Amino acid sequence: MQVHQNISLKKYNTFGMAVTAKHFASFGSLDELEEALHFRRDNAIKGILPLMILGGGSNVLFTKDFDGLVLKNELLGIELTKEDPDYVYIKANAGEVWHNLVEYCISNNYPGLENLSLIPGNVGASPMQNIGAYGVELKDVFYELEAYNIEERVVETFSIDECNFGYRESVFKNKYKGKYIILNVTYRLRKKGVFNTQYGAINVELERMGIKEVTIRHISNAIINIRTSKLPNPKVIGNAGSFFKNPQVSKFTWHVIWEQYPDVVAHQLDDMNYKLAAGWLIEKCGWKGFRKGDAGCHEKQALVLVNYGTAKGEDILNLSDEIIASVERKFGVKLEKEVNIV
Ligand code: FAD
Ligand code: EPU
């Protein structure tokens, strides 16, 4: 394990922000992680050296240089750990690329992750914000995870209840923020999986592809087609996916908006609550396709803010604040950022 000084993070974040980390190291084993944390303690000033764990950098916006230690998680390995009549249990180390895990499961005909195809980033971040797409969330297939308690210097196991998953939320983003490093995640996959194709566009795409007998590979391919048709490829245009969450509002708020805009895109959660499509709200405010310098709002998906090349984190952040203010003025709904601002 080697600690490097003043390293550019440009290639380590999908927004392509050219900030610098004061110290940077990768770890591929628990021993290397402990060595790096030892370095952190030795180099702390008045007991403090900020720490950031980095996976694929696809859910962060760096707005300034990082005056601390960035640790890139490179713990690799995927294995089948257990099998019973109904389920297989797949354990993946946190540094594995998420889509590689999806591919592993599809190739072995283990259903459950196919709807989460092509989400960028690594396994270790998947429980952080309970990743979700096309009708499936991580919590639907989660079994347990192991995480390193930074202060106590021990590995702890978390069950699904202890993770407190919600929409793009977990205990690691809230109560335990900055306290744990996720080392591995075990997923429990049903052997006889139920195909999840309710999310409108999936069936339309399967039909367009001419699929008669659906397999998990077909679902994965359909989702990859849908995603690539509207989400910008971070290798071409910098972004971190949805910049905001879809807001949950009361039935009353939804009704007030609906009376004026009957085309409002909303999903009823229960008798009292609705989830609104933030992309629709932002588009209605006229931001879709907006560009100021190299900071912009994507032309095909208004929920995605983009860096066309030389935008700074501050430019994206300022644009996001302007969008939040304008959506609040027009609809009385306050959008919440989904991306981690560093
Ligand atoms: P990073 O950006 O590296 O880290 C995210 C946060 O988790 C940071 O706070 C980091 O410190 C922390 N963290 C990372 N690893 C660990 C660890 N091992 N232990 C402790 N903390 C850790 N997300 C969805 O949910 N659904 C989507 O459909 C989706 N589509 C996307 C499409 C695009 C084009 C892009 C660019 C992003 C998309 N995202 C989506 C967001 C992103 O891919 C996910 O949030 C992903 O899980 C982030 O993984 P990462 O490894 O890149 O995390
Ligand atoms: N819409 C618009 N204009 C837009 C964008 C969307 O009107 O510019 C409306 C359309 O009616 C569309 C609806 O909003 O049908 C929903 O759009 P989409 O299917 O693209 O999904 P989303 O709600 O915008 C969420 C997730 C995505 C996930 C998709 C698919 C959040 C914050 N985002 O987006 O996750 O891939 O659903 O399940 O929940 C991410 O988290 O980074 C991410 C990309």
pLDDT tens-digit series, residues 35-76 = 999 999 999 988 899 999 999 999 999 999 999 999 999 999
> So which residues are the catalytic ones?
168, 242, 338
* Neighbour tally for 98: CB within 10 Å: 25
Report pLDDT for 49.
96
Q: What is the pLDDT of residues 148-206, one digit of tens each?
A: 999 999 999 999 999 999 999 999 999 999 999 999 999 999 998 789 998 879 999 99
Instruction: Report which of 176, 144, 181 is spatially closest to residue 159, judged by C-alpha positions.
Output: 144
Q: Supply the pTM of this predicted model.
A: 0.97
Ligand 1 centroid vs 307 CA: distance in angstroms?
17
Q: Is 245 in the pocket of ligand 2 (CB under 6 A)?
A: yes
Three-class secondary structure of residue 92 per DSSP: strand
Q: Which residues of the chain have pLDDT under 50?
A: none
Ligand 2 centroid vs 57 CA: distance in angstroms?
20
Residues of the chain with CATH 3.30.43.10: 4-73
Q: Which atom of ligand 1 is nearest to the CA of 54?
A: 3
Report pLDDT for 312.
98
CATH number of 78-190: 3.30.465.10
Residues of the chain with CATH 3.30.465.10: 78-190
Q: Is 241 in the pocket of ligand 2 (CB under 6 A)?
A: yes
Ligand 1 centroid vs 186 CA: distance in angstroms?
17
> Quick one: CATH architecture of 238-341?
Alpha-Beta Complex (3.90)
Report pLDDT for 252.
97
Residues of the chain with CATH 3.90.78.10: 238-341
Report pLDDT for 171.
98
Residue 242 near residue 303, CB atoms below 8 Å: yes
CA distance 44 to 168: 32
Q: Is 242 in the pocket of ligand 2 (CB under 6 A)?
A: yes
Q: Is 288 in the pocket of ligand 2 (CB under 6 A)?
A: yes
Report pLDDT for 200.
75
Report pLDDT for 216.
96
CATH number of 4-73: 3.30.43.10
Q: Which atom of ligand 2 is nearest to the CA of 135?
A: 38
φ/ψ bin of 6: left (φ > 0), alpha (ψ from -120 to 50), beta (otherwise): left
